Structure 1
Amino acid sequence: HRHPPDGGARGAGPYALVWLAIADERILNVAFQTNGCRWAIACGEAAGKLVKGRTVEQATQLSPSDLGLLLGGLPTGKEAAAERAVSALRAALRMSS
């Protein structure tokens, strides 16, 4: 099954969208889209990297701080990029259940 997005809304400032391909409760593929800065793009890519191949249950445990760790930290003021990426991932996971 493919499950679409939502972390923010288009036309209402920064947004992040996540699509998941899931089979047998395992995430096979992740696609991410944002209109944000390079840190928003990096956070989306990091989220995808961290959850691809994991179970849906494992993916629900991802936190914004996990993205910061993978990226070697986020600049001050860019924490919202990680929060938006995780929010979009969680929305897609909710839609998958």
Structure 2
Amino acid sequence: MALQEGLAHWEMYKEKTGVTLDVQLPSGKLQETLNLVIAAGNMPELMYMTNHADANRFGQQGALANILDYIGLMPNLKVRLSMRGTKSASVHFAGEN
């Protein structure tokens, strides 16, 4: 199910970045949906993980890319992560396994 278009925060993201996000809510339970999407290899460009354990598990399985490998391309994220003291984070980029 797609989130309602025209909501102020989605419009703000589009205006500030020039990027339109196709945001979808999982049908059913989030954990089951994550497992199915990852198993099918039909992953979106951006995914929400409810906890670090799932992100670590899926990362170790090779389903997620280490965002720190791309940190040089994202100076704003680099600053945010340094402010939080974050040592690791993961993100999946579309088309990568």
In the superposition, the TM-score normalised over structure 2's length comes to 0.27
In the superposition, the TM-score normalised over structure 1's length comes to 0.27
Instruction: For CA contacts below 8 A with separation 6 or more, give which structure has more relative contact order.
Output: 1
- Decide which structure has greater helix share: 2
- Decide which structure has greater strand share: 1
